[in-house]
Structure formats: C-alpha cells, structure tokens
Amino acid sequence: MLMDLSCPIELVSYDITHDDVGNTRAYLLLSNLARRRVLGFDAVIRWKDHAAGTHLDMPYSAQPKDGSARFHLPASTSDMPGADGLEIIFHQVRLEGEAPWDADPARLIDWEEPKEPSGVALDRLQQAAGDDAVCFPQEDEHYWTCVCGRLNEQGQAKCARCVRSKRMVFQKYRREALLSRSARRKKRTVWRFHPTPLSVVLLCALAGGLIFLLLWTLL
C-alpha cells in the first residue's frame, strides 16, 4: 500500500459491493488528520482484484460537505467487476485557510499493512485497547504501527490517527504481554477456589451427610 505520512487525510476503511450488471461500488471512510477543514482533494483510486492479480487506477476528486473530522464518500467503477480491495493515492488536498498540500513521490512509502489478528487474540486486544484496535503494535528502526492500524514515524510520540501515546501502546498492548496475561488469568479462573460462607456451609453439610451415611451403613 502506497502512502505519504505527511498527507492531511487518510483512508481509514471501506466497504465494497457489486451489483448484477458488473458495477463495483465502494463506501469510503476518510479521516481528517489536520486541524483545518478539508475543502476538497484530488487523488487516484487503485481498484484491486486480488484473485486475478490486477488493478485499475481511476482519477478521483471530491469536495466533502463536512470535512472537519471523519467523513464518508462513495466511489464506483464499471471497469473492475471483480474488485475486492482498493487504496487511495492522494495528489492534492485543499484545507481551509492554508496552502494546498501537494504529494511528493519521494515521500511515498510502499507499506505492507499488518496482519490483523482474529478469534481470541482479537478479542483480547479489543478488550484491552478498545473497539478500534485492529492489530498488535509493531516497529522497526524507521516506523511504528499503532493498534488502530496507523503507520507513524519512529520519532512521533503520539499516533496521528487515534492520538494514543507510543509508549503506552507498546507497554500495554504487545501481543506477548496481552496473550500471556490472558492465559494466566484463565488458569487462575480454572484452578483457584474462593471459599464463601455458603460454600463452607454446603461442604460441611455434605461431609456430615457422608459420615452419617457411613455410620448408618456400619450399624
């Protein structure tokens, strides 16, 4: 996936649907990372057909009605009936009261999105970090990936998307820490006995009943 970390907007997620006559439609969720309202942008949507191993680039421009935070936009094509994924490469973003942001090919990073956990691992992650968490944090010498899925530069102390601090993310939400903690908790739940007044009374009654039964049998 190609991305420029300086871009003031980003694609957060999308849903793709197909109709019976070969049209592909996408419902895009975009996020404004700048402090100013987004007036409009020019970009290219790269429709991807993973099964066929093909893609199609389509110019895409929009003027969102409310570009202040997160906003939805539609997109469609009749030239890619098998599309099952997409990415957006932004060329220019126009912000209220600021000079336009222009893409620079030299800043583009070809980034492989982190593999998303599933099942118990995803449950543990979201219980600890929140419903927007989609992956365990990762880092290399240049970048770190937040639990929300956003790539950030290594020197950035807070995530550009969710504003979680890098320090907290790596302290609390590492895969090893979360999964080993949940395993220990499960073990404790299974084996530890917590006596309560009621359970003590019941156990005494059971023991007394057994002794009485034994004595009655012997006599």
Binding site for Zn ion (CB under 5 A): 146, 148, 150, 159, 161-162
Give the DSSP letter of residue 165: B
* 86 neighbors 26 (Cβ within 8 angstroms): yes
Whole-angstrom distance, CA of residue 124 vs CA of residue 44: 36
- C-alpha to C-alpha distances, 20 to 23, 74, 78, 81, 169, nearest whole angstrom: 7, 18, 11, 10, 44
The rounded Cα 40 to chain-centroid distance in angstroms is 26
> In terms of CB distance, is 28 or 135 closer to Zn ion?
135
> In terms of CB distance, is 41 or 144 closer to Zn ion?
144
Reported residue count of the chain is 219
> In terms of CB distance, is 25 or 161 closer to Zn ion?
161
Q: Could you tell me the smallest distance in angstroms from the CB atom of residue 198 to Zn ion?
A: 46
Q: Could you tell me the smallest distance in angstroms from the CB atom of residue 162 to Zn ion?
A: 3
Q: Could you tell me the smallest distance in angstroms from the CB atom of residue 169 to Zn ion?
A: 7
Residue owning tokens 């982190």: 114
Q: Could you tell me the smallest distance in angstroms from the CB atom of residue 115 to Zn ion?
A: 17
> In terms of CB distance, is 80 or 146 closer to Zn ion?
146
Give the DSSP letter of residue 158: B
Q: Could you tell me the smallest distance in angstroms from the CB atom of residue 133 to Zn ion?
A: 9
Whole-angstrom distance, CA of residue 178 vs CA of residue 59: 43
> In terms of CB distance, is 75 or 148 closer to Zn ion?
148
Largest CA distance in the chain: 101
